[in-house]
């Protein structure tokens, strides 16, 4: 009996304690749009109706805690708490132009934001590892600073979509890492900073060079040029003293007899950790001197870099699947003479690309057939244009020795474009791609590609994806396949609409006395538009319509009705 009483008493106490605990934690509801302001001037707004623990939410004169997140700022600033789930914490409408805002989620790393950053989303699993995951999403109207707690581990902010480096962070005394984030929307993966340069054979791009080679590395630090020498051992060189987001130039010392002398520009170790040397002992090579002549003023030799790139197919990620990427084989500034010497493998195809700040031109393919002087001439061309919010996309076709060639160009007169992607494919077969490229060297202002070979009697679609002012926009331009190098400066949807409107217009002209003539005219017009590939009509249906129109015409003629 006593045992039963003890059990009842214990259960009663447990219930009372539970009720007491529930009563001790009470909540009050804030409606969406409610704003709490600290004495320092930090305003925190709740986007949605929220239950907040009762009591004083202000931890100090400059900090307030809402829904498990502490917000802190030393002066005037504003921020909106959009959501705080287990997986993600989202804040928006950030105004940190005057004072930095610290965001401390209960179970996620601390972040600090200032200047042009407008919104931040933080995942619950941020780690400095090369896993390609999106860990932080940042939207910035202009450049701003993002600081993340990484427990003192250095990191590089990498674009999780294309793998390009956004910024190598600076480790702060408190163990956080500070990043400079450019304008735009960025899906960020924090990765460890690479420090090893891998040196491969150009003729066998999956094999590291054997033996030793002497490299000279030239880069700029703190406003002055610095040169270091490195010995490549078993195909690798340690470049830990060079920041991973630092542009540098590698040269093979001229007294090395196994490999051709080369100057190789590398934009950063974060973007390219591999270089390729040419062994002249077992590979036939040619010496080409590229000479630059610029009539536009946009590519002066002393400021313009020539990238000689090669499509290299191999397993880059060690996942068992080979893929093709353009890798820089040689490159550097032309210099005041406008000349760049290059030793290339004979009969190998390369791609030439010019870059001067935001201006970029892809000059097309070049096959190194013999030792020669190759002249690169830059001049303005008149192209059909389409406007994408104060920027233009242009296309043009020419025929050289019976081969049709396509030129495409993107021009932004401002500095608002952070990324462009372009794909050229057969109009009715998106899988038949003849050219594809993505450029992320923000800002992108002038991007041009020349001499893309296309079939004479095939129509093509040029698809643009433009990331400008934080927005993603698309545009399609059509290249006709009539054999007359017809360029149609209309989006595919507008072109199809215009074609059918033209057919409808002719059909509307039909009257009692002219319907048989108009019927033939409409079918003929539809056939011409099909031939120009402005509209898509199944050929069997067109032939049926043609037979009906011809039959009506002949019947009317026999009746003498015209």
Range of lowest pLDDT (22-26, 67-71, 205-209, 290-294): 22-26
How many angstroms separate the CA atoms of 495 and 489, rounded?
A: 9
Considering 216-220, 257-261, 286-290, the range whose residues carry the highest mean pLDDT is: 286-290
Question: How far, CA to CA in Å, does 549 sit from each of 82, 516, 530, 544, 560?
Answer: 63, 7, 17, 9, 17
Report which of residues 34 and 440 the model is more confident about.
Answer: 34
- Report CA Rg, the chain: 32
d(CA 253, CA 214): 6
Average pLDDT, the chain: 78
Task: Quickly state the pLDDT bin for 17 (edges 50, 70, 90).
Answer: very low
What pLDDT, in 10s, does the model give residues 127-161?
887 677 888 999 998 999 999 988 877 788 888 87
- pLDDT per residue over 235-244, tens digit each? 888 887 787 7
Phi, psi of 492 (to 5 degrees): -60, -40
What is the arrangement of strands in the sheet containing 212-221, beginning at the earlier edge strand? 263-266, 248-252, 212-221, 224-233, 236-238, 196-201, 274-277
CA-to-CA distance for 419 and 178, rounded, in angstroms?
Answer: 23
Q: Which residue has the tokens 């406008």?
A: 338
Residue 535: pLDDT band (50, 70, 90) is low
Decide if 504 contacts 518 (C-beta within 8 A). Answer: no
CA distances from 425 to 41, 312, 324, 422, 532 (A): 55, 21, 18, 10, 17
Which of 194-198, 214-218, 305-309 shows the highest mean pLDDT?
305-309
- Lowest-pLDDT range, 50-59, 67-76, 165-174, 505-514? 505-514
Q: Which residues, at least 6 apart from 211, have a Cβ–Cβ distance to it below 8 Å?
A: 258
pTM value > 0.75 = no
Q: Which residues contact 414 (CB under 8 A, 6 or more apart)?
A: 390, 391, 443, 445
Long-range residue pairs from 487-496, CB within 8 A, at least 24 positions apart, any chain: 487/384, 487/395, 487/396, 487/397, 488/532, 488/534, 489/384, 489/385, 489/386, 491/386, 492/427, 492/461, 495/534, 496/534, 496/535, 496/536
Ordered strands of the 339-345 beta sheet: 339-345, 285-294, 372-378
Q: How far is residue 513's CA from residue 499's CA, in Å, rounded to a whole number?
A: 26
From CA 294, how far away is CA 192, in angstroms rounded? 41
| pLDDT of res. 22 | 40
Do residues 78 and 94 make contact, with C-beta atoms less than 8 angstroms apart? yes
Query: Is 66 within 8 Å of 44 (Cβ atoms)?
Result: yes
pLDDT tens profile 90-114: 999 999 999 999 999 888 889 999 9
Question: Using the 8-state DSSP alphabet, how is residue 521 labeled?
Answer: H
Task: Find the largest Cα–Cα distance for the chain.
Answer: 120
pLDDT at 137: 92
Is 273 exposed, middle or buried (CB count within 10 Å of its CB: 0-12, 13-18, 19+)?
middle
Phi first, then psi: give them for residue 494, nearest 5 degrees: -65, -35
Q: Which pLDDT band, with edges at 50, 70 and 90, does 27 fall under? A: low
Instruction: Say what percent of the chain tops pLDDT 70.
Output: 78
Q: Is 551's pLDDT higher than 80?
A: no
Residue 356 has pLDDT above 50, yes or no: yes
Give the lowest-confidence range in 5-19, 335-349, 496-510: 5-19
| pLDDT per position as a tens digit, 403-416 | 888 888 888 767 77
Contacts 24+ apart (CB under 8 A), 549-553: 549/516, 549/519, 549/520, 549/522, 549/523, 550/520, 552/515, 552/516, 552/519, 553/516, 553/517, 553/519, 553/520
Q: Is the peptide bond before 443 cis (omega within 30 degrees of 0)?
A: yes
What average pLDDT does range 423-428 have in this prediction?
88
Q: What is the pLDDT of residues 460-483, one digit of tens each?
A: 889 998 888 777 888 888 787 654
User: Would you state the pLDDT for residue 7?
Assistant: 41
* 558 confidence band (pLDDT: 50, 70, 90): low
User: Quick one: how far is CA 453 from the chain centroid?
Assistant: 24
Per-residue pLDDT tens over the stretch 335-344: 888 999 999 9
User: So what's the pLDDT on residue 20?
Assistant: 40
Q: Which residue has the higher pLDDT, 561 or 451?
A: 451
Report the DSSP pairing between strands 285-294 and 372-378.
Answer: parallel
In the chain, pLDDT over 90 holds for what percent of residues?
18
For 132, 223, 384, 470, the CA distances from 147, given in Å and listed in that order, are 20, 25, 45, 21
Average pLDDT (115-120) is 92
Count how many Cα atoms sit within 13 Å of the Cα of residue 59 in the half-sphere of its side chain. Answer: 13
Decide if pLDDT at 26 tops 50. Answer: yes
pLDDT at residue 501, rounded to an integer:
58
Residue 533's pLDDT is 53
Confidence of residue 71 (pLDDT cuts 50, 70, 90): very high
Res 499: pLDDT? 53
245's CB contacts (< 8 A; 6+ apart) are 156, 165, 167, 168, 268, 269, 270
CA distance 557 to 562: 7
DSSP 13-28: HHHHHHHHHHHHS-EE
Q: How confident is the model at residue 559 (pLDDT cuts 50, 70, 90)?
A: low
For residues 311 and 326, give the distance between their C-alpha atoms in angstroms, rounded to a whole number: 4
Helix pair 515-531, 539-558: axis angle to 10 deg: 160
Q: Domain 381-489: which CATH class?
A: mainly beta
Cβ atoms of 117 and 148 closer than 8 Å: no
Asked whether the beta carbons of 529 and 499 are under 8 A apart, the reply is yes
How many Cβ atoms are within 10 Å of 444's Cβ, its own excluded? 24
What the block records as the tokens of 25 is 């934690």
């Amino acid at each position: 009996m006593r045992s039963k009483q003890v059990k009842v008493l214990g259960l009663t106490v447990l219930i009372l304690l539970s009720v007491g605990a529930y009563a001790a934690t009470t909540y009050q509801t804030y409606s969406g749009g409610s704003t709490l302001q600290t004495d320092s001037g930090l305003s925190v707004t709740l986007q949605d109706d929220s239950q907040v623990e009762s009591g004083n939410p202000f931890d100090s004169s400059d900090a307030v805690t809402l829904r498990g997140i502490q917000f802190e700022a030393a002066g005037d600033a504003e921020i909106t708490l959009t959501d705080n789930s287990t997986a993600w914490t989202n804040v928006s409408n950030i105004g940190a132009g005057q004072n930095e805002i610290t965001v401390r989620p209960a179970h996620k790393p601390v972040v600090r934001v200032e200047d042009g950053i407008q919104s931040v989303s933080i995942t619950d699993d941020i780690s400095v590892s090369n896993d390609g995951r999106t860990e932080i999403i940042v939207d910035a109207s202009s450049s701003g600073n993002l600081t993340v707690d990484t427990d003192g581990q250095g990191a590089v902010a990498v674009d999780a979509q294309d793998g390009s480096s956004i910024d190598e962070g600076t480790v702060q005394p408190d163990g956080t890492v500070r990043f400079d984030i450019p304008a735009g929307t960025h899906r960020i993966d924090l990765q460890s900073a690479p420090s090893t340069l891998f040196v491969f054979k150009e003729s066998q791009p999956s094999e590291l060079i054997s033996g030793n080679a002497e490299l000279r590395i030239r880069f700029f630090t703190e406003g002055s040029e610095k040169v270091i020498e490195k010995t490549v051992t078993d195909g690798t060189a340690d470049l830990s003293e060079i920041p991973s987001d630092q542009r540098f130039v590698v040269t093979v010392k001229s007294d090395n007899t196994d490999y051709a002398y080369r100057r190789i520009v590398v934009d950063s170790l974060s973007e390219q950790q591999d270089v390729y040397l040419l062994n002249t002992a077992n590979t036939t090579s040619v010496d080409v001197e590229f000479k630059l002549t610029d009539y536009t003023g946009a590519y002066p030799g002393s400021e313009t870099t020539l990238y000689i790139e090669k499509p290299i197919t191999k397993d880059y990620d060690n996942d068992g699947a080979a893929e093709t990427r353009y890798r820089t084989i040689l490159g550097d500034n032309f210099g005041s003479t406008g000349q760049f010497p290059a030793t290339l493998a004979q009969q190998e195809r390369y791609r030439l690309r010019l870059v001067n700040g935001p201006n970029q031109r892809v000059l097309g393919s070049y096959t190194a057939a013999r030792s020669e002087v190759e002249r690169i001439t830059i001049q303005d061309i008149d192209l059909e244009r389409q406007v994408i919010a104060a920027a233009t996309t242009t296309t043009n076709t020419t025929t050289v020795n019976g081969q049709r060639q396509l030129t495409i160009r993107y021009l932004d007169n401002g500095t608002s474009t952070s990324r462009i992607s372009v794909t050229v494919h057969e109009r009715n077969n998106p899988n038949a791609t003849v050219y594809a490229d993505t450029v992320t060297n923000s800002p992108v202002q002038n991007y041009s590609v020349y001499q893309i070979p296309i079939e004479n009697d095939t129509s093509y679609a040029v698809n643009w994806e433009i990331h400008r002012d934080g927005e993603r926009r698309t545009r399609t331009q059509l290249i006709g396949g009539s054999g007359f190098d017809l360029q149609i400066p209309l989006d595919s949807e507008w072109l199809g609409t215009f074609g059918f409107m033209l057919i409808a217009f002719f059909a509307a002209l039909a009257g009692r006395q002219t319907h048989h003539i108009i019927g033939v005219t409409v079918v003929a017009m539809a056939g011409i538009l099909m031939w120009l590939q402005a509209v898509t009509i199944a050929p069997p249906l067109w032939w049926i319509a043609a037979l009906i129109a011809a039959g009506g015409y002949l019947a009317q003629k026999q009746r003498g009705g015209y």
